[in-house]
Amino acid sequence: MTGNAARVQAIQQITNRTPIKCEPPIKLEEAWATNVFDLSKMQASLPKAVFKSIKNTITSGEKLDPSVADAVATAMRDWAMSKGALYYAHVFYPMTNLTAEKHDGFVSVQSDGKVISEFSGKVLVQGEPDGSSFPNGGIRDTFEARGYTAWDVTSPAYIMETENGSTLCIPTVFVSWTGEALDKKVPLLRSIDAMNKAAQKVLKLLGHTEIARVNSSCGAEQEYFLVDSNFAHQRPDLLLAGRTLFGKSPAKGQEFDDHYFGAIPERVQIFMQDVEAQLYKLGIPAKTRHNEVAPGQFEIAPVFEAANVASDHQQLIMTTLKTTAKKHGFMCLLHEKPFAGINGSGKHVNWSVGNATQGNLLDPGDSPHDNAQFLVFCGAVIRGVHKFGPLMRAVIANASNDHRLGANEAPPAIMSVYLGSQLEEVFEQIKNGTVSESKKKGVMDLGVAVLPELTKDAGDRNRTSPFAFTGNRFEFRAVGSSQSVSGPLVALNTILADSLGWIGDRLESELAKGLEISEAILTVLKEIMNDHGSVIFGGNGYSEEWHREAVQERGLRNLPTTADALPVLKEDEVVALFDQLKVLTPIELESRFEVYAEQYIKSIEVEAKLVMNMAKTMVYPAAVEYLSKLSGTITALVNLGISLEKKSAETVSSLTNGLMAATEKLSAAFEKEDFASTEEHMHYCASTIRPLMDEVRSYADLLENELPDSFWPLPTYQEMLFIK
């Protein structure tokens, strides 16, 4: 079957597709967390003393009592088997941005040949996967294969249902035999501990006596594309790279702004409802769904949760989106830039800090100028972003996110803080030595009697800022759609812990001089504004003027590519930050640089090989076939005495030659292997390989514009984005 015939058949299959029957909406209260071994199920199945011990570990961060493990394991096994699970898995999060799991059965064979179900506390608490087969940055070699998983009691176990059965999944951490963290979860838990310790000290200095454990919270807005699988399976680039490497823009894209918040297509809404039903069973509070800006692009967002649980749930959301999409005949694309010429996908990480006694520590209240607690914690964030903005850029760096950052669809690669006009004025007053007032919320009269008056916020929103305050939290808008939220959360928690530690020491120093606490706070915050206020910016982050001002006048760093950003992880100040706060050792941090650098290089190499292969085996043959037919037609007409302009044939010939010449240049550049360092190899990929890939693409896209539709072998942007 020719490429065009396959495309036509795909369109027919899509348009004649029998819709999946929409199941009646589930009753939320009945479905909620039915597949989660949460506190309520523990309380119902565990002895009181065991439940009390487990609850204290979960809510207060107390050390896990190993004596309770057997009782918990038995209750967990009985519950799981009542749900149809015969297997369990320690689920962990290696440095691949994906989940990993090995399934083991509850079955145990006795000496008489009979079998019983068995699941001990020892097995619950600890597992032993291969520590050398996952990305480790040189920490483990093939002959040093031992690694351990350990139960994370603070993230509840759950049942993962599939059409082929159910499995008890137990969230765990993953470490090497020598104790180094090989996963995403260990650094996150350590960063929360570091932040809690620093926050406790500051809150005591502010006069609080009863202080619950301080935790960060996260609500991640997940963007994604849906493409019909009939089209996607005909695109080698989508199958292997997750994005299109060729494709001309359709006549209509997102120019009319008519897709954002538009009516959700029926087939897509059925898919969304299926996803949500599964998430509710897993205790994941999916709250929002809507069309995004680009055609074929959508978003799902959950309610805020504790950072560690939110990170685990985010992985489950991505997994559920992809597996459910297959069921509905879609391919779910989580890549940051699957289509050129229209918006890519991000994952806005809404981050806040708080506890059970003082509440949200980033809530300014109605009078932020009088809210010393808020000003201190907000000031700590300002200082942290200014000192470690390059680190924030590094933790969201990968080959796919480079396509978004700095374009007029996503925040720039320069890290700045947007506070809004109200808070900017307050901190400007602090810088000037006094703070007396803050702008109040207003009321908006719409001029129509039957319409209600609207409460007008004291400040606007800035969608061009990479890190914006949005009422009671900060929104880290530069995170990529395919990324784990763990890395950004680790960075934010750690830089906050560092700043709170510094503020605590400075407050103690000022109080020792005899200052009142209010005077000490003003002194410290004024110092922060003088030294770090240049990171605050409320203008257009997309503008060239801001890029010049940020770098030349404010001294902020612009790290446009992953090759520029990842080496930040090796800088002395960053190494010391993680080491001193006991979040990552120098060895663990070095391993992460090596892993992420290798992933960056390999991602671009895979794409380069795809570009060369598709150009030679799909685009070039189509162009030659058309050129042959066109030339034959022109010759035949000339022989009949009919003149026909030859410009079209000359254009196709020129573009075809250009395509192959560009492909050969890319092929020659791809052969280079002698690099002095990993950094040099990354920069070569960014500055040489990628531009050559773009050159090949430019010829292919121009050829798509010249060839008749019947000759083009690949599903087009118009088909993939608009036929659902």
Q: Give the CATH number of the domain where residue 163 resides.
A: 3.10.20.70
Indicate whether 704 belongs to any domain.
Answer: yes
Q: Which of 98-107, 148-157, 233-242 has the highest mean pLDDT?
A: 233-242
| Res 10: pLDDT | 83
Check pLDDT > 80 for residue 643. no
In a domain, 478, yes or no: no
Answer yes or no: is 604 within a domain: yes
Q: How far apart are CA 93 and CA 328, in angstroms?
A: 27
Mean pLDDT computed over 453-473: 77
Q: Could you report the per-residue pLDDT of 60-93, keeping only the tens digit for each?
A: 888 888 899 999 999 999 999 999 999 999 999 9
Contact criterion met (CB below 8 Å) for 584 and 592: yes
How far is 20 from 496, CA to CA, in rounded Å? 48
Domain boundary pick from 122, 157, 183: 183
Query: d(Cα 542, Cα 540) in Å, to the nearest integer?
Result: 5
Over residues 269-275, the mean pLDDT reads 94
- What is the span of the domain harbouring residue 662? 600-722
pLDDT of residue 142: 46
**Tokens linked to 507:** 């407050």
431 lies in some domain: no
**Other CB atoms within 10 A of residue 708 CB:** 11
**Do the domain assignments include residue 501?**
no
Of residues 144 and 289, which shows the higher confidence score?
A: 289
Rounded Cα distance, 90 and 149, in Å: 7
* 452 within some domain: no
Q: Average of pLDDT values for 536-542? A: 93
Q: Where is mean pLDDT largest: 104-113, 158-167, 190-199, 536-545?
A: 190-199
Query: Is pLDDT of 443 > 60?
Result: no
Q: Using pLDDT thresholds of 50, 70 and 90, give the confidence band for residue 453.
A: low
pLDDT surpasses 70 at 444:
no
CATH code, domain carrying 659: 1.20.120.1560
- Confidence (pLDDT) at 3: 62
Token pair 């096994």: residue? 77
The band of 450, judged by pLDDT with boundaries at 50, 70 and 90, is low
Token couple for 299: 């978003």
Six-digit token string for 301: 């967002």
In angstroms, the CA 196 to CA 194 distance is 5
Give residue 143's pLDDT band: very low, low, confident or very high (50, 70, 90): very low
Average pLDDT for 279-283: 96
Listed range (12-21, 166-175, 566-575, 673-682) with the worst mean pLDDT: 12-21
**Is 362 within a domain?**
no
Q: How does pLDDT run across 596-628, given as a tens digit for each residue?
A: 999 999 999 999 999 999 999 999 999 999 999
Calculate helix-pair angle for 647-670, 620-639, nearest 10 degrees: 160
Q: Structure tokens of 677?
A: 């360092």
Q: What is the mean pLDDT of the chain?
A: 90
Higher pLDDT, 3 or 394: 394
Q: Indicate if the pLDDT at residue 245 is higher than 70.
A: yes
Q: Please state the pTM of the whole predicted model.
A: 0.93
Q: At what angle do helices 372-394 and 421-431 cross, to 10 degrees?
A: 100
Residue 434 pLDDT class (50, 70, 90 cuts):
confident
| Closest among 667, 669, 694, 696 to 609, alpha carbons compared | 667
Contacts of 366 (CB under 8 A, 6+ apart): 440, 441
Final residue belonging to a domain, choices 132, 151, 183: 183
Number of domains, the chain: 2
The closest alpha carbon to 440, from 458, 424, 421, 427, belongs to: 458
Note whether 431 and 375 are within 8 A (CB).
no
pLDDT at 456: 54
Measured distance CA(308)–CA(486) in Å, rounded: 8
pLDDT at position 120: 87
> Is the per-residue pLDDT at 20 higher than 90?
no
From the CB of residue 136, how many other CB atoms can be counted at a distance below 10 Å? Answer: 24
- Could you read off the pLDDT of 299-358 as tens digits, one per residue? 999 999 999 999 999 999 999 999 999 999 999 999 999 999 999 999 999 999 999 999
pLDDT higher than 60, residue 447: no
- Asked whether residue 590 is assigned to any structural domain, the reply reads no
Percent of the chain with pLDDT over 70: 91
Model confidence at 117: pLDDT above 50: yes
pLDDT band at 129 (very low <50, low <70, confident <90, very high): low
Domain end call among 183, 209, 231: 183
**In the numeric block, which tokens belong to residue 315?**
């992985």
Provide the pLDDT for residue 452.
66
Per-residue pLDDT tens over the stretch 396-409: 999 999 999 876 67
Specify the pLDDT at position 151. Answer: 92
